[in-house]
Amino acid sequence: MCGRSRATLSPQQVTAAAGVPLERWRNSEQYQPSYNVSPGFSTPVVRQSSAGKPELQTMKWGLVPSYTKAGEKPDFFRMFNARSESVAEKGVFKRLLSRHRCVVLLNGFYEWAKEGKHKQPYYIHMGTGEGDVIRMAGLFDCWDNGPEGPMYTYTILTTDSSKRLQWLHDRMPVILPDEAAAEQWLAGEALDHKELSRIAEPYNGDDLRWHKVSPAMSNMRYQGADCAKELKRESVASFFKPVAGKAKATAEAAVQETSGRSSQAGREYSQAGKAQPIT
């Protein structure tokens, strides 16, 4: 499952990762860079043009089928993921497999692990740099009767978790580890079951990394830059190192204030923002 991601790539990083010039990026002005992307956000994807060449297009995350009735409210949470094992069987996805495959470009994604009574969010990414890109296999569609005209949307394919991530969740996105894998996913018209299974194999590379992040980002409305920042908790004992006079009073006041904020944040954020896809 992949229900939250990070997309803060600059336009230059996006075009470099796609191997496409800026003038071949449709609706680039609709891109919404965010540290806390949820279904309904607009992010860059790579697709094939009618001429068979790769091009960029900004699309909304959360598939809205082309046959959705005019005037119907789009539900971006219903199909933001698609199980790779069944996309060739379910009609809503099967019809997209031949000519509507895409590559979703992101910085990384989030997943939650149950730790005690709470769920701790983790940020998963590839490489070590801020500009490193993670490519995911996706399918897209166009709803011609959207509220503001044609609306392009996409879903991210998922697969079983790799051995390195099984402790965190039993599902993970289908990761395309390099440009060659991305090109293979986009190329051609038909994919047989064997090819699809090979592409959807769980990625287990050593360059896949993760760390704990602030529980505050569990709230979909939270957009702070610390969403993806590694969470490093200080020892409680460090707050009580001997200090003198006014400094001591200030330190004790800080402890009380921090404790109050932490309790409030825990109540507000700990259970927020976990939507379940219908795949």
Alpha-carbon dihedral sign for residues 177, 178, 179, 185? negative
Which of 55, 72, 102, 111 is labelled catalytic?
111
Query: Residue 236 is encoded by which pair of tokens?
Result: 């409680």
Which of 2, 55, 102, 227 is labelled catalytic?
2
Active site residue 148: no
Active site residue 2: yes
Query: How far is residue 80's CA from residue 73's CA, in Å, rounded to a whole number?
Result: 16
Residues known to be catalytic: 2, 111
